[in-house]
Amino acid sequence: MSSEVMQAAANNSVYRRRLMVHRVGIALSFMAMLLGLFFLGWILFTLLVKGLGAISPSIFLQTTPAPGSEGGGLMNAIVGSLLMVGAATLISTPIGIFAGIYLAEYGEVSLFAKVTRFVTDIMLSAPSIVIGLFVYAIYVANVKHFSGWAGSFAISLIAIPVVVRTTDNMLNLVPGSLREAAFALGAPRWRVATFVRLRAVKAGVITGVLLAVARISGETAPLLFTALNNQFYSTNMNAPMANLPVVIYQFAMSPYDNWRELAWGGALLITFSVLALNILSRVLFKQKNQH
């Protein structure tokens, strides 16, 4: 009987047309995937070919060279990027997590929570250069100097929406029965939100934080208006500070071969650091799903 049904379906013109559309869609999707993988592989291969030659101990131990000079490294830019990304992570993580908890708990009943979610979605798609100009106008222009703190504030504004949305989405995956059980035991709402729901999805929240760090690690435009750059080694966050994205931008546009080689090396460092963070976040998320 089943073979007769299958034969009748095969002779049906509507079924044949839908099957053809399905196969065409699958083929186009597969071709799009191959095209994306081709360009991704091309980018990574180009970075390896042009940037691997610049990777040496000196790139981590020497500061950026003067114009026209040989040698040098990216130590000051690497340290500056680590300091600013670290400060931005410390700023954005607690704000993003607590905002995400608020949205998950009151997002359906509070008008303020709905407005917050709407603003967060807008900030997720806002151009980073606009955020850099905003921090320049409200902070740099008032203190009258560029600084590492200004750069940290700018990129933290980019990281916060990522952490907020990830935390909100993860908390909404917690089964309602788990919350009800905690309420039945007499736990207050704030304790249920932080010690029950948040603990249940901590791997997913950490994944969101890592994705936010990966997002801000290569941002250039906000730092051009806030941290600017510094040719010398400095850990003073209240002064202009070197950072990898801006150094890569300036060195890549320069006429000096040595600078361009260092730019390729810096691009390779950032790309594979972001790739490692993304892989780490996927591993954590996979472990969460397994548990």
pLDDT digits (tens, 9 = 90+) for 222-232: 999 999 898 88
Task: Output phi, psi for 142, to 5 deg.
Answer: -85, -40
Instruction: Enter the pTM of the model.
Output: 0.84
Q: For the residues 5-16, what does the mean pLDDT come to?
A: 66
pLDDT of residue 138: 95
Q: For the residues 70-74, what does the mean pLDDT come to?
A: 89
Q: For the residues 17-41, what does the mean pLDDT come to?
A: 92
Alpha carbon separation from 218 to 129, 167, 241 (Å, rounded): 13, 23, 15
CA dihedral 236, 237, 242, 245 (to 10 degrees): 160
Q: What is the CATH number of domain 57-290?
A: 1.10.3720.10
Distance CA 98, CA 94 (A): 6
- As a whole number, the mean pLDDT across the chain is 88
State the DSSP string of 5-42: HHHHHHT-HHHHHHHHHHHHHHHHHHHHHHHHHHHHHH
Q: Residue 140 — pLDDT band, cuts 50, 70, 90?
A: very high
User: How many beta carbons lie within 10 A of that of residue 286, not counting itself?
Assistant: 12
> pLDDT tens digits for 92-113?
999 999 999 998 888 777 788 8
pLDDT of residue 30: 95
pLDDT of residue 97: 94
Distance CA 59, CA 264 (A): 12
Distance CA 266, CA 254 (A): 15
Q: Residue 1 — pLDDT band, cuts 50, 70, 90?
A: very low
User: How many beta carbons lie within 10 A of that of residue 31, not counting itself?
Assistant: 10
H/E segment holding residue 60: helix 57-61
Amino acid at the residue 101: I
Helix (H, G, I), strand (E, B) or coil at 107: coil
Q: What's the token pair of residue 151?
A: 């750069």
Look up tokens 């950072």; give the residue.
243
CA dihedral 265, 269, 270, 271 (to 10 degrees): 90
Domain ranges of the chain: 2-54, 57-290
Nearest to 75 by CA among 58, 87, 51: 58
The region of weakest confidence among 1-10, 128-137, 146-155, 160-169 is 1-10
pLDDT of residue 136: 95
pLDDT of residue 199: 87
Question: What's the burial of 209, exposed, middle or buried (CB within 10 Å: 0-12/13-18/19+)?
Answer: buried
Nearest to 242 by CA among 64, 102, 8: 64
CA dihedral 218, 220, 225, 231 (to 10 degrees): 90
